[in-house]
Amino acid sequence: MRRTTKLSVLLGASILVCAVSLACGRSESTPTPPATPAPPTVATPTPPTTPTTPTTPTPPATPTPPTPTKAPEETFAQKVAKSRPLTPTTAPQVALGRQIRAVRCTMPGVELLSDSSFDSIGRIEMGTDGKLYALDADHRIMRFDVAGEGDTCTLTLDQTFGTAGRLNPGRDIKEIAAVAGNRIIASNGIFNSYRLTNGAVDIDCSGGGGYLAASADGRLAIGHFANSALKRVTWTDTLCQVEEWSAFRSPFTNVNTVSFVGRDIAIGGVLDTPADSDPRVVIVFDQNGRERYRAGNTAEGFGDDRFGWVHAIEQCGPNLCVVDSNFRRLSVWNPRGEFQGAVRLGDLLGLDYPWIPDLEMVRNVAYVPATQQRERTGVYEGAIYRVFGLVP
Tens of pLDDT along 236-261?
Answer: 999 999 999 999 999 999 999 999 99
Sign of the four-CA dihedral 180, 182, 128, 264: negative
Give residue 341's pLDDT.
Answer: 97
Report the pLDDT averaged over residues 371-387: 97
What is the pLDDT confidence band of residue 8, given thresholds at 50, 70 and 90? very low
Nearest CA to 381 among 361, 359, 352?
Answer: 352
Distance of alpha carbon 246 from alpha carbon 384, whole angstroms: 38
Q: How many CB atoms lie within 10 A of CB 335?
A: 15
Report the pLDDT averaged over residues 121-136: 98
pLDDT higher than 80, residue 145:
yes
Distance of alpha carbon 220 from alpha carbon 279, whole angstroms: 29
Distance of alpha carbon 233 from alpha carbon 219, whole angstroms: 8
Distances (CA, A) of 34 to 39, 41, 370: 15, 21, 124
Distance of alpha carbon 361 from alpha carbon 132, whole angstroms: 12
Give me the numbers of helices (H) and strands (E) for the chain, helices first please.
3, 27
Report the pLDDT averaged over residues 57-75: 78
| Pairing status of strand 329-333 against strand 291-295 | unpaired
Give residue 274's pLDDT.
Answer: 86
* Contact between 120 and 110 (Cβ < 8 Å): no
- Higher per-residue confidence, 6 vs 233: 233
Tens digits of per-residue pLDDT, 163-208?
999 999 999 999 999 999 999 999 999 999 999 999 999 999 998 8
Tens digits of per-residue pLDDT, 197-233?
999 999 999 988 999 999 999 999 999 998 899 999 9
Tens digits of per-residue pLDDT, 296-343?
999 888 899 999 999 999 999 999 999 999 999 999 999 999 999 999
Structural domains present in the chain: 76-388 (2.130.10.10)
Give residue 52's pLDDT.
Answer: 57
Distance of alpha carbon 215 from alpha carbon 179, whole angstroms: 7
Report the pLDDT averaged over residues 35-47: 54
* Contact between 195 and 201 (Cβ < 8 Å): yes
- Higher per-residue confidence, 133 vs 71: 133
Tens digits of per-residue pLDDT, 272-297?
988 788 899 999 999 999 999 999 99
Distance of alpha carbon 76 from alpha carbon 48, whole angstroms: 79
pLDDT higher than 70, residue 47:
no
